[in-house]
Amino acid sequence: MKVLSGKKTTVISKCELQNRIRGFSSVNVDIGTGSGRFVLKNALNDPQRYWIGVDPVSAQMAENAVKAQKRRMGNISFTISSVEDLPSELIEIADAVTVILPWGSLRDGIAKAEPTTLNGLRLIGKPGSPLTMWIGYDEQREAAEMARRSLPRLSETYLTGLSDAYSMAGINLQNVSSVSNTELCALESDWARRLAYGAPRQVFKMSAKMV
């Protein structure tokens, strides 16, 4: 699979990835990681766990990949991939999976319970592993985007109603709750922190488990 070593893209095998994660208490994978701030901060604060940030746009992750390389961090990887086209090396590797305020096709797939997206998320996590997602978009500020992408109006009732579709993909959707700006700030994601310090937006946390 393709990973960033600083700004350089390299390819590592499944064997090499297994060697990297060996000895850590768990493997945590963040899908649609963007800049990778979330995985970098957590890898620094929790060196007993291995953290993998996954995003199809390598340029977004480059700055934090360089920081990780300079610090010679051995518990983090930045992987270039989308959830719809996962490398086989990531299949059932994760003890926990997160998706924080996704954009584009990843956001659409979660909000509309599209099988390709949900099947990709399920493939990453081990059976029984938690999947935690934070999703939200603004009906006033992003009305044009919602119309262009045929995005539904989000609510706890709507998202809870997707449980059957998630179940068909092997994901047990357990709880949906509204998220405060304070909770967003604590996530250590660039986009989450930007939203947290701006005007209040409706964001939902979806807690699930891989079957």
Q: What is the pTM of this model?
A: 0.93
26-31 and 96-100 beta bridge pairing: parallel
Q: What is the mean pLDDT of residues 91-112?
A: 96
Residue 196 has pLDDT above 60, yes or no: no
Q: What is the mean pLDDT of residues 116-121?
A: 97
CA torsion angle for 86, 6, 97, 107 (degrees, to 10)? -70
Cβ(157)–Cβ(67) below 8 Å: no
Q: Domain spans of the chain?
A: 2-210
Mean pLDDT across the chain: 93
And the tokens for 87?
């490398």
DSSP letters for 123-153: HHBPTT-EEEEEE---TTTTHHHHHHHTPPP
Q: What is the mean pLDDT of residues 198-205?
A: 77
Using a CB cutoff of 8 Å and minimum separation of 24, what contacts does 25-28 make? 25/49, 26/50, 26/95, 26/96, 27/51, 27/52, 27/93, 27/94, 27/95, 27/96, 28/52, 28/94, 28/95, 28/96, 28/97, 28/98
Instruction: Give 155-195 pLDDT, tens digit per residue.
Output: 999 999 999 999 999 999 999 999 987 788 777 766 665 66
Amino acid type, 112 = K
Residue 65 has pLDDT above 80, yes or no: yes
Give the per-residue pLDDT at 135. Answer: 95
Domain 2-210 is of which CATH architecture? 3-Layer(aba) Sandwich (3.40)
From CA 145, how far away is CA 12, in angstroms rounded? 37
Give the angle 132-136-210 at the CA atoms, nearest 5°: 20
Residue 59 has pLDDT above 90, yes or no: yes
The CA radius of gyration of the chain, in Å to the nearest whole number, is: 17
DSSP letters for 9-41: EEE--HHHHHHHHTT-SEEEEEET-TT-HHHHH
Distance of CA 160 to the CA centre of its chain: 20
Is residue 202 very low, low, confident or very high in pLDDT (cuts 50, 70, 90)? confident
